[in-house]
A = this chain, B = another copy of it.
Amino acid sequence: MARRPHDPLPAITVPGGQDVMTERTIPDRPDPADRPAEPVRRPERPGPATPGTATAGEVLAAYLHGQATEFLRSLRLHGDSGPGAEDATEAARLLRRSARRLSGALCVYRPLTDTEWTDQLRAELLWLCGTLGHEHAYAARLARLRGALHRLSGSAPATPAVASAADERPWSGLTVGAARAGALLERQLTLARTRAHSAALQALGTSRFHAVADAAAVLASEAPLAPAAYELPAGEALPRLAEQAQRRLVDAVGALPLSVAGHPYNAEALTHGLAATGSSDAPPAEGRQDAPWHQVRRLVRLRRYAQEVLDEHRQAEVEPTLSVRLLNAGQALDRHRDAAEAAAAAAAAARTPRIAPATAYALGVLHADQRHEVEAARFAFGRTWQRLGTGL
């Protein structure tokens, strides 16, 4: 398979100042499709990529082809579904899923690609994931907080995470403070979710989005890779780049306070839990504490996608245990991020003017509860990481 030269895509505009070299800014959501229960989709393969003889370019192109095909299929699915329908939600989820993988593979295996073209595309994929992800994030956050309030009230079993926001009496059985806190969060997060939904719909109609779709079509037919990629043996070039992603991950984990996090009930996550109450503008101290963990979450995901490309080469999971443990580590950090954001939402709701003291009290309990979930997630990640070992 020879490389064909590609023109830069003039339709893709990169907003100035965006960091396109890392995935630091992808604001996406946990993805149920990432769970091992669901069989891994194997994209159709565009060309021969037999292990042993395939080049790095062939394998990477095949992976990108598969994910881009998924992307375009989800896009059609989204167009066919009615606005606000369950199909549309699912289609948006699949769109983000493919977009994350395209962006991740282009990041890890960047030296094998036409970097000018792919750096632009990655920035646009980040924008897309962010825009499409907010609606899901607000819905998930509300479901998490609703479940926590029920748990904290010792009332009926928590509303399932998929419960409709239109649930008739979601707060029945709660005490006054908990019910009011719940209703306040419901109002605030439903409003945010509705706005995010409109913004996502609007984005899908822009020329900026159509340019991303065009780029996906290019990836689905012929990925713009570097000429050298088709000369390097896949078995050498791909593992070397995956190893680099691995090293970035190991370095970032090394900077985490894992020895503290490994002690159960270290009370670290709630330190500064009351530091941000007074000033709503300053970035809360908790956010600064969480940032390195969020960064590791992104690097774990990159490492996972890197592994998917290696598996593409072998046409099988090279190291099933490794894949599962990376998945577990990622899930612990997803939970870390979700709990941290839910805690922040509770704290933000407590700053609403003129709320009753009982409401504020319940929001305080809720905030602390979610910060302890943060701490629990760090503990869980530490244990998973120990099993992964530094050699991974």
Contact = CB atoms under 8 A, between A and B. Distances in A.
A242 to B, nearest CB: 33
B274 A362 contact: yes
A287 interface: no
A237 interface: no
Interface residues of A, number: 46
A368 B372 contact: yes
Interface string A355-370: 1111111111111110
Interface stretch (A21-29, A85-93, A116-124, A265-273): A265-273
Contacts of A278: 175-177, 358
Residue of A274, A350, A355, A365 most packed against chain B (CB within 10 A): A274
A97 B163 CA distance: 56
Contacts of A365: 270, 273-274, 364-365, 367-368
Given A175-B275, A177-B274, A376 B264 contact: yes
Nearest to A347: B361
B362 A277 contact: yes
Residue of A271, A273, A278 most packed against chain B (CB within 10 A): A273
In the complex this chain forms, how many copies of it are found? 2
A362 B274 CA distance: 7
A180 to B, nearest CB: 10
A152 B155 CA distance: 28
A381 interface: no
A220 interface: no
B357 A355 contact: yes
